[in-house]
Amino acid sequence: MEGLTSKTMAFSFAILVVYGLLRAVYTIWWRPKSLEKQLRQQGIRGTHCKLMYGDMKALKLSFKETQSKPMTLNHSIVPRVIPFFHQMFQNYGKISMSWIFTGPRVMIVDPELIRMILADKNGQFQKPPLNPLVDLLTLGLSTLEGEQWAKRRKLITPAFHFEKLMGMLPAFSMSCCNLIERWKNWVGPQGTYELDVMPEFQNVTGDVISRAAFGSSYEEGKKVFELQKEQAVLVIEASRAIYLPGFRFVPTVKNRRRYHIDNEIKAMLRSMIHRKKQAMKNGDSGYNDDLLGLLLQLTEEIDNEMRIEDLIEECKLFYFAGQETTANLLTWTMILLSMNPKWQDKAREEVLQICGKKIPDLEAINHLKIVSTSPHDLAQSLFSKIVLYFSEQKIGKHG
């Protein structure tokens, strides 16, 4: 009897091993080769599938090589920012194929095809599946699909209307004034000072977001910002590695830190939300003078369709998306202004003419044409450089 049991267990184990091997062969070799064949049959050119890592090594190497060289002062930033993709477009055309680990990535720079993908209403193109650890960074609007996305977007859009944002102008002004004052002190009597503006803009945008998002809870907001900033580094690091199912539950040093930060951020935001809700019940004035208050007010007006957890995730997303993009835009604006001194002179002359030595208020800002136009033009000129990722549910036909 024992011998029969042992044979049964050995047979079962052998079946599991064979299944595991077949599954590994399917995932690592057969499926990628099958997908590559289907894509090439449609005339899509690109690199060949390499076992396990795909083009990850080439991608990292091209970025490392590019970053090791000084940047030329021109508007062509694509070879600098996404050198591997740029080389792919040069070698294989507007539609090309590369590999991220064992998954094919079809890269498209054809405007008409991009327009068709963005206009898709059938759910064929969805956000790609991510490492589950990325969920620790945010589960806000950017991660939703279809009807859920449309509903949430409609829900929170009123909080970002122009008149609402203009009510936060004093908070923006305070952060910017502190930045300018700090720069003035650094310049000193010698009249010059070499400064790396990128960290400065990262700090000031974080400061602005903290004031705009949490108002009177500004100091707590700054703490949330610092934690979210650390979380972004940890999560991005995890997203670049091969994810093994269940690895997020392994209590490594970094995993424990990721979950600790997530719990701390949620606890702080939950506490601030509770205080805001209490202020609303008490009828206190000024409870809705920040983003968190506006979102709470909106949820109360529409029968609490957003849960506390949803509010927390939207606040986390506001930090992650708003801070980095705004800091990048401001830094690039400074670079282009440095390359074009005449526009510096025009902008400076306009500010002095309209504002004099006063701090710009809402009325003055509305009259600043050159100053307000420059960032808008820059944002439009940089739009074509943005990389958007979509996951196609099944291979369709090109052409």
Q: Tens digit of pLDDT for each residue in 350-359?
A: 989 988 888 8
191 CB burial (10 A radius; 0-12, 13-18, 19+): exposed
Sheet strands (E) in the chain: 45-46, 95-100, 103-108, 125-126, 391-392
Distances (CA, A) of 103 to 100, 209, 238, 246, 277: 5, 37, 17, 20, 46
Question: Strand, coil or helix: what is 45?
Answer: strand
Q: What is the pLDDT, as a whole number, of residue 257?
A: 93
Tokens of 235: 């999560």
Per the CB < 8 A criterion, the answer to whether 98 and 48 are in contact is no
Q: Can you tell me the mean pLDDT for 329-335?
A: 85
Per the CB < 8 A criterion, the answer to whether 177 and 310 are in contact is no
User: Which one has a higher pLDDT value, 76 or 331?
Assistant: 331
Q: What is the pLDDT, as a whole number, of residue 278?
A: 82
Q: What is the pLDDT, as a whole number, of residue 393?
A: 54
Residue recorded with tokens 């009259």: 367
Name every residue whose Cβ is closer than 8 Å to that of residue 121 and which is 6 or more positions away in sequence: none
User: Which one has a higher pLDDT value, 374 or 231?
Assistant: 231
Q: What is the pLDDT, as a whole number, of residue 385?
A: 46
| pLDDT at residue 1 is higher than 70 | no
Q: What is the pLDDT, as a whole number, of residue 399?
A: 55
Question: Strand, coil or helix: what is 140?
Answer: coil
pLDDT tens-place string over residues 231-289: 888 888 887 777 777 778 888 899 899 999 999 988 988 888 888 888 777 776 655 66
Question: Strand, coil or helix: what is 358?
Answer: coil
pLDDT band of 380, cuts 50, 70, 90: low
Q: What is the pLDDT, as a whole number, of residue 394?
A: 56
Beta partners for residue 96, in sequence order: 45, 107
| pLDDT at residue 306 is higher than 50 | yes
- φ/ψ (deg, to 5) at 104: -75, 145
User: Which one has a higher pLDDT value, 142 or 34?
Assistant: 34
Which residue segments constitute the domains of the chain, with CATH numbers given?
A: 23-119 (no CATH), 152-339 (1.10.630.10)
Q: Can you tell me the mean pLDDT for 179-185?
A: 89
Amino acid 299 reads T
What is the C-alpha separation between 176 and 351, in angstroms, rounded?
15
- φ/ψ (deg, to 5) at 100: -110, 105
Q: What is the pLDDT, as a whole number, of residue 190?
A: 74
pLDDT tens-place string over residues 163-175: 777 777 887 888 8
- In this prediction, what percent of the chain has a pLDDT beyond 70? 87
pLDDT band of 384, cuts 50, 70, 90: very low
Distances (CA, A) of 242 to 54, 166, 246, 247, 376: 12, 44, 12, 10, 38
**Mind giving me the DSSP string for 205-226?**
HHHHHHHHHHGGGHHHHHHHHH
Q: In what order do the strands lie in the sheet with 103-108?
A: 45-46, 95-100, 103-108
User: Which one has a higher pLDDT value, 304 or 341?
Assistant: 341
Give Cα 85 to chain centroid, integer Å: 19
Contacts 24+ apart (CB under 8 A), 349-352: none
Q: What is the pLDDT, as a whole number, of residue 256?
A: 92
Q: Is the pTM for the entire model greater than 0.85?
A: no
What is the C-alpha separation between 290 and 198, in angstroms, rounded?
26
User: Which one has a higher pLDDT value, 119 or 390?
Assistant: 119
Beta partners for residue 105, in sequence order: 98
pLDDT tens-place string over residues 204-237: 888 888 877 777 566 777 788 888 888 888 888 8
pLDDT band of 383, cuts 50, 70, 90: very low
Least confident span in 13-27, 140-154, 373-387: 373-387
Average pLDDT, the chain: 80
pLDDT tens-place string over residues 35-69: 889 889 888 899 988 877 788 888 889 988 988 88
Tokens of 148: 């859920």
